[in-house]
Structure 1
Amino acid sequence: MSLKKAILVIIIILLIDQISKFYIKTQFSLHHRIEVFDWFHILFVENDGMAWGTKLSDFITGISDRTAKLALTIFRIVAVIGIGYWLVNAVKKKGSKILIVAIALIFSGALGNIIDSVFYGIIFTDSYSQVATFLPEIGYDTVFHGRVVDMLHFPIWKGVLPSWIPFFGGDYFTFFEPVFNVADMAISTGIGMLIVFNKKAFHEHEEETIAQATTKENE
């Protein structure tokens, strides 16, 4: 798979991700919900930290939320640079199509959430009890302190768990509780492809190289 095709995949995912976030941010107030189906809701929330809404300051004592947020954003930027290098290197080494597509999905998802973290604080007003304004004179926060926009919620099942289940028996439970976005889906899909198709992703090119070398020796 060529680098141009990988970049096309990245651009498509980024456009879908950012257009959906822009729409939600400029049409919904925070925590506004639309029930599309019983099992699928559009629910506007903002993630100020890592996955599932956790924060770096939850694990490191003595660090403020703002410092933790800045550190997390910088880490994301460094990580996406590394993923970009991995993608280019995989294309140069003629890696498998599965590997290149998976890396492109992970890269686009990571970059999509970085855009929120870096820029949304200065290009939007906050969404508390109001619909945000795009490109205000003063945004809701400074650069690198934006919050990630999430909106996809799949409460597939709700109910009280049977009492025989250890630890959680008798508790009210929702599956699937987390709210996420298109960028998160891209990252999860890319990682899932690498796990499920591990052998094809990482060994296909090695097998082709060995086969070519063997053929040359036999000639």
Structure 2
Amino acid sequence: MKGYTKPLLLISLVLLVDQLSKFWVKLNMTIGQDFNIIGNKFLIHFIENNGMAYGMEFGGEFGKLFLTLFRIIAVGGIGYGLYYMVKNKYHRGFILNVALIFAGALGNIIDSTFYGVIFSESTFYEKASLFPTGGGYASLFHGKVVDMLYFPLIEGNFPDWFPVWGGEHFLFFRPVFNIADSAISVGVFLILIFQKRYFKEERVEKESINSEVLED
């Protein structure tokens, strides 16, 4: 288990926070309901989506099934890659970043795969219930992903002289997302920022091993 402890703990923590937040929102809020956390700059805003991260869509029932199955295959690949990286002693920071991506992807797969079966439908007027008597709102693999983190930091209108969007309304940051989306984004961002450090140390280590082999 040496080398696996920290990645497994990180994955477990992300999944726990992600699923607890989604369960709470599903059972305590109606679609479109808001809770202000920091004024009107950070809100818990409940929406659901049929598609990808940050509310993007991938249309139709077939599209939904395809996306969920694709996610499962992708997460399986990421999981194997994570196992390979730990086994071959890749940079610890890189491994933890991949663990974040894995946890985030798995968190949204849980929604897509099981939420339609275990929850009743959330509406603008009614909260969902867990394990409803009449069954869930959708079949296996057709659940909706729960989003709730909303940061409308800057709102206003573009100046009239601004190219293309002059005079139009703008809002930053518009997407509503969840903990799983955040884990994926943070993992990818850190890999991009520190990739030279991660792979430089790896090259140095391999060169050291190769030189030892040649000397022997």
Task: Please indicate the TM-score interval, normalised by the length of the shorter structure.
Answer: over 0.9
Offset from partner CA, 1:136-161 (integer Å, 9 cap, x none): 12111111000000000000101011
Partner Cα distance (1:172, 1:50) in 2: 25
Task: Tell me if 1:209 matches 2:210.
Answer: no
The alpha-carbon deviation at position 216 of structure 1 amounts to 5.8
How far did residue 56 of structure 1 move?
Answer: 2.5
> Which whole-Å CA distance do the structure 2 matches of 1:152 and 1:51 have between them?
12
8 Å contact from structure 2 (residues 15, 107) kept in 1 = yes
Contact 2:68–2:109 (8 Å) recurs in 1: yes
Structure 1 SS opposite 2:103: helix
Q: Is the 8 A contact 2:53 2:177 kept in 1?
A: no
Q: Does 1:119 align with 2:121?
A: no
Separation in structure 2 between the aligned mates of residue 118 and residue 216 of structure 1, nearest angstrom:
49
Counterpart for residue 128 of structure 2: 132
Q: TM-score, normalised by structure 1?
A: 0.92
Equivalent position of 2:100 in the other structure: 105
| Cross-structure match for 1:51 | 53
Equivalent residue letter for 2:17: I
Superposed CA offset, 1:183-210 (max 9, x none): 0000000000110011122332221121
Rounded to whole Å, the distance in 2 between the matches of 1:74 and 1:208 is 38
- Partners of 1:110 and 1:103 lie apart in 2 by 11
2:9 corresponds in structure 1 to 8
Cα displacement (A) at 1:217: 4.7
* Preserved contact between residue 117 and residue 144 of structure 1 (Cα < 8 Å): yes
Rounded to whole Å, the distance in 2 between the matches of 1:168 and 1:44 is 29
In 1, the alpha carbon distance for the partners of 2:20 and 2:195 equals: 32
Q: What amino acid is the match of 2:102?
A: F
- In 1, Cα distance between the equivalents of 2:158 and 2:104? 34
TM superposition shift of 1:218: 5.7
Q: Is 1:152 aligned with 2:149?
A: yes
Q: In structure 2, do the counterparts of structure 1 residues 52 and 74 end up closer, same or farther at CA, with 3 Å as the change threshold?
A: same
The answer to whether residue 122 in structure 2 is matched with residue 92 in structure 1 is no
Q: Structure 1 residues 141 and 91, CA, compared in 2 at 3 Å: closer, same or farther?
A: same
Give the TM-score normalised by the residue count of structure 2: 0.93
Q: Which amino acid aligns with 2:27?
A: T
Q: Deviations over 1:73-120 (max 9, x none)?
A: 000000000000110011111000111001100000000000000000
Q: Secondary structure at the match of 1:43?
A: strand
Q: Any unmatched runs of 5+ in structure 1?
A: 58-64
Partner of 2:69: 74
Question: Does the CA-based 8 Å contact 1:106-1:188 persist in structure 2?
Answer: yes
After the TM superposition, which of the residue ranges 74-83 and 203-212 deviates more from structure 2?
Answer: 203-212
**Do the aligned partners of 1:162 and 1:169 also contact (CA within 8 Å) in 2?**
yes
Alignment of 1:165-176 (within 5 A): 165-176=162-173
Contact 1:42–1:152 (Cα < 8 Å) also in 2: yes
Cα RMSD between the aligned structures? 1.5
Aligned to 1:62: none
Q: Which structure 2 residue ranges, 5 or more long, are not aligned?
A: none
Specify which of 30, 35, 41 is matched with residue 43 of structure 2: 41
Q: Hey, what's the Cα distance between the residues in 2 that align with 1:161 and 1:69? A: 36
